[in-house]
Structure 1
Amino acid sequence: MKFRNIATAFLMNNDDVLLMERSETNKRMPGFWYGVGGHVEPEEINDPYSAVIREIYEETGLKDYNVENLKLKYMLLRREKDETVINYVYFGRTNTKMVLQNDEGSLHWIPKQEAMNRKFIDVLKLALEHYFEDEKNDEVMVGVMQNEKSTGIKWSTLMNMEQ
C-alpha cells in the first residue's frame, strides 16, 4: 500500500470561507469544491504546516502574514484503491479577501451557511460540517472514513500522551 499526503486549508474572513471549485477539465474530481491545498512535497513530509503555507501562497497569492491562527484541526484518512490518503486540514483566518486566481480552479468567498450546499468529496464535507458545529474546539481530530457502503466518518481526538 502507498500513502499520499495532502495539506488543505479552509480560510475564513468574517463569516465567509474561501473555497476552490475545481475546473471541469481537471483530471481529478472535476467540478468538486475544496479548500486550497495540495500534495505534501518529500522535503515537507514531516512538516505539513510548511506545505499548507506554500500551497496557500501558490493557489491564492496570500502570504503568511495575511493568514492568522492557522491551526491543524483534522487529520483525515481514507483509502483509494491501493493507496491511503492522509489529508492534514488546517483552518485559519485572513485579513483580506483579495486572492489571485489559479489554473486549478476558481476561488470563491462563500458565506459559511451556504458552503455545505457545494459538491464536496464525502470526507471534506464531513470535516467541514464537524468544524462548523464547534469552531471553538481546540482539539485536533482524526477522522477515518468508514467502508464504502457507509457514508460516515469515525472521529477520535488526537491525544498528547506526554501530558
Structure 2
Amino acid sequence: MGAHEQGADATAGHWLTIPRTLCFVQNSDDLLLMKRAPHRRVFPNQYNGLGGHIERDEDPFSAAMREIKEESGLDVYDMRLRAVHNISTDAVTGIMLFVFTAWADRREFISDDVEGTLHWVPIAALSEYDLVEDLPLMLPRILQMAPDAAPLFGLVTYDEMDKIQIQYVHS
C-alpha cells in the first residue's frame, strides 16, 4: 500500500491532533525548566519542560532531541519515553503529547530568552514554582518510573470547572 492509500486525507468525523514533545532534563536532583516569557500566548510566566512541535519529517524522539538542543544547547543521554497524552481541549483539534525524560552531564546551557528563561529547579522544591497545570499531576509519576518501565498512556480533559484531569490507563 502506497503513501496515498493510507487514508490520511479521510479526516471528516475523525479526531485530529497536533503532535508535540515535552522533555524533562535532569542533572543531579534538579530539572531544567523553562519559565515561559510573559508575552507568550500559552502558559506565560509559568514553568514547563523543554519541547515543541513535531515536524512533518520527524519522529517524536528526534523532535524531542532537536527541541532540547535548540532551546538549551545541551546534549542529553538516556532519553526515555515516559508518557503519551491525548489532550482534549474541546477545540476542533487536540494535542498528542509525547513526554520524555533525559539526563545532562553539564549544567551550562544557552538560551535566547525568546520563548522564556531556563532554570535548574530542585525537584524537592517544585511545589514552590508556578508550574504549568499538568506538571504537578504528571511529574511525580514519571520521575519515579523505573528505567525499563513502559510509558504511561493518559487522556487529558477538563471538568465543568475547567480544571485539568489526567486519566492514566493502567496495564
Q: TM-score, normalised by structure 2?
A: 0.81
**Where does the alignment leave 5 or more consecutive residues of structure 1 unmatched?**
none
Q: Please, what is the CA RMSD of the aligned residues?
A: 1.7
| 1:29 Cα deviation after fit | 1.7
1:35-76 deviation per Cα after TM superposition (whole angstroms, max 9, x unaligned): 0110001111xx10000010011000113xxx1210000111
In structure 2, how many angstroms separate the alpha carbons of the residues matched to 1:147 and 1:51?
Answer: 27
Runs of 4 or more consecutive aligned structure 1 residues displaced over 3 Å after TM superposition: none
- Does the CA-based 8 Å contact 1:22-1:33 persist in structure 2? yes
CA distance in structure 2 between the aligned counterparts of 1:142 and 1:14, rounded to whole angstroms: 27
1:69-99: CA deviations, max 9, x gaps? 1000011121122211111010011100010
Q: Secondary structure at the match of 2:120?
A: strand
Identity, % of aligned pairs? 26
Q: How many residues align?
A: 152
Q: Please give the alpha-carbon distance, in whole angstroms, between the structure 1 residues aligned to 2:94 and 2:22.
A: 16
1:51 matched residue in structure 2: 63
1:77 to 81, 86, 103: 86
One-letter identity of the residue aligned with 1:49: F
Distance change (3 Å), C-alpha of 1:116 and 1:5: farther
SS in 2 for 1:58: helix
* Rg comparison, structure with higher value: 2
Q: TM-score scaled to structure 1, two decimals?
A: 0.85
Give the one of 31, 53, 73 matched to 1:61: 73
Secondary structure at the counterpart of residue 27 of structure 1 = coil
1:13-162 matched pairs, under 5 angstroms = 13-44=27-58, 47-63=59-75, 67-80=76-89, 81-102=91-112, 103-132=114-143, 134-136=144-146, 138-149=149-160, 151-157=164-170
Q: 5+ unaligned residues in a row in structure 2: which ranges? A: 1-14
